[in-house]
Amino acid sequence: MNITRKQFVAEDNFEVELDPYVILQIPKLNLSDEQRIRMLDWAEKLESGKFQQTRGRLRKDIPVTGTVSEFSASYCCLGVACAISKMGEWGPREATNDVPHILESTYTTSVPSYEVCEYFGMDSVGGITVVIRNRPSTIMYKKLDGLNDNGASFGEIAKIIRLACADGYLNPEATPSELKRLKRDGI
């Protein structure tokens, strides 16, 4: 599946603004065909409405109102990746209702294991590194988990994933000094 940025933007009317941030750059990921398919499937699952969103952890079980023993799972964007990878398993619910993802010797509630990241072709354990401008002029590097935890919706994160799978994205309104810094930082 080969999608160019031009096709993606034209078909989906991608808005590059992610309040309170302005996205300056989304990297083009160097993915195998299998990883690209997995990433696009992940984006589709994020938009499906089948996963409730949470912040600050891969998965949190929320008690169902009016019951003592029923729980509904909610996930951060990376927790959805863990769930659909079918790698590892979810551990026992902790006292905080956080549910750890366990893969071999990795036991974590906040980031996926290296194996899950490699399976999808993520550039870091936090997902994909995105360069943003935090108004008025501060450049920051945020990963998908940070965007998720700061209020980005699953739909917005799915669009970022799709652009990273295509040709990446460079904001045409980036200032000359921002472009210089991106070049200096090797981005």
Q: Which residue has the tokens 């870091």?
A: 124
* Per-residue model confidence as pLDDT tens digits over 83-117: 999 998 888 888 788 888 887 766 778 888 889 99
Higher pLDDT, 3 or 18: 18
Report pTM. Answer: 0.83
* Per-residue model confidence as pLDDT tens digits over 30-78: 999 999 999 999 999 999 999 999 999 999 988 887 776 788 899 999 9
Domain boundaries, the chain: 5-184
Q: Where are the beta strands (DSSP E) in 127-187?
A: 129-134, 138-143, 169-170
Q: Which residue has the tokens 């065909």?
A: 33
pLDDT > 70: percent of the chain: 83
Helix extents (H) in 48-143: 77-85, 114-120
pLDDT on residue 110? 84
pLDDT on residue 97? 80
